Amino acid sequence: MGISVGSLIFISYSDTLATDYPKSYTPMQTLMQIPVQKTSHSRLSQTDFKNLEFGKYIADHMFTATWNHGTWENSGIEPYAPISVSPAALGLHYGQTVFEGMKAYRMQNGDISIFRLERHSQRFNKSLERMSMAPVPLELFKESLLTLISLDSEWVPREEGSSLYIRPFCFASEERLGMKVSDEYKFMIINSPVGPYYAKPLKVKVEKHFVRAAEGGTGYAKCGGNYGGAFYPAAQAKKEGFDQIIWTHACGHETIEEAGTMNMMFVLDGKLITPPTSSSVLDGITRDSLLTLAGRLGIPQEVRPVTVSEIRDGLENGKLQEAFGAGTAAVVAPISHISIDDTLYEISGSQENAISLNLKKALTDIRTGKAEDFAGWNTILKA
């Protein structure tokens, strides 16, 4: 039960272990003591939920915690506002910054489902470890997120195809010049109501000059530098009329890796194929979910290296029936055209009963409560 003092609320907690958490919560039922300062000026009325541009609107509140020489402290929720950061903060100079992307969905009964919370926490910490940053315990990650979304529950859209995008992130905040691992970090969570990331099928280019990541690097981590380094080649591709780049392996550019905002999946001669994850490919949670669903639906699948030459051959002989991206933001993004070595191919497969659309529907139905959550992927906030 929460205790309210003015606009400041303290959330009580029990001694339940992180591994024993129930999968269903009611608003403000939480297992940690998280102080909450509520806004006095909600921006909900200024938000056009019928026309949600990705990332345009930010929900009313944000969570912040500070890592200081070995412990997380000063955690709390407050109204969304600019933050003060020292110009000498190490994260601004040496790249210690990591983020995660998650989503919450309005279910058909009005409850809110947060998709694969524990798996996102694991990936967040895997990224933090690669960047030599402080880990965020599951309990802190989970309860701060649940409390924040409970508070901003009206920001979870009710429109079909829309969701609440959740952005946990962490950066080095120690005020010091000098290349070193920081002793101080800020862990924050902000939320944004969003519509579909891509409104139409994509036209993409297989990139054979620029490299997103190499084996042994940080490609599997969701660190800022991976995305900053991809902007220039992506911008060049946009000038050529493409929506996205398909990255290839740094050594020889002979195999497919991933696209700019998503993992790649193909339907080749009736079989779903996707490249394996590695130190240069993000371990996509949507990708993993779709592979699990494909198995339940009896769709033949292979996780193996996918060569550029076999994709070209499949486009030329008509055996490549579908290509699509899979990611938290994009969910499932169909691809209509692929350019390889300056030759533009159109994917001619029929969209009727497309594997990509069937998988997307199966995933959406689980997230919104229309189908059984057989794998326990949803963490439910009760209406």
- pLDDT tens by residue, the chain, 383 residues: 232 323 333 333 222 223 333 355 444 344 468 999 999 999 999 999 999 999 999 999 999 999 998 999 999 999 999 999 999 999 999 999 999 999 999 999 999 999 999 999 999 999 999 999 999 999 999 999 999 999 999 999 999 999 999 999 999 999 999 999 999 999 999 999 999 888 799 999 999 999 999 999 999 999 999 999 999 999 999 999 999 999 999 999 999 999 988 999 999 999 999 999 999 999 999 999 999 999 999 999 999 999 999 999 999 999 999 999 999 988 999 999 999 999 999 997 667 789 999 999 999 999 999 999 999 999 999 97
What is the reported pLDDT for 4?
30
Query: Residue 286: in which H helix or E strand, if any?
Result: helix 285-296
| CA 78 to the chain's CA centroid | 23
CA distance 203 to 199: 12
What is the reported pLDDT for 115?
98
Contact 102, 114 (CB under 8 A): yes
Contact 134, 97 (CB under 8 A): no
What is the reported pLDDT for 32?
61
Query: Start-end ranges of CATH 3.20.10.10 in the chain?
Result: 202-349
By C-alpha distance, which of 201, 200, 197, 195 is closest to 51? 195
Three-class SS of residue 86? Answer: coil
Cα dihedral across residues 278, 281, 283, 286: positive or negative: negative
Paired residues of 106 in beta bridges: 112
CATH topology classification for 2-195+369-381: D-amino Acid Aminotransferase; Chain A, domain 1 (3.30.470)
CATH topology classification for 202-349: D-amino Acid Aminotransferase; Chain A, domain 2 (3.20.10)
* Residue whose pair of structure tokens reads 């280019």 in the numeric block: 205
CA distance 348 to 53: 30
Query: Start-end ranges of CATH 3.30.470.10 in the chain?
Result: 2-195+369-381
By C-alpha distance, which of 203, 311, 319 is closest to 254? 311
pTM (2 d.p.) = 0.90
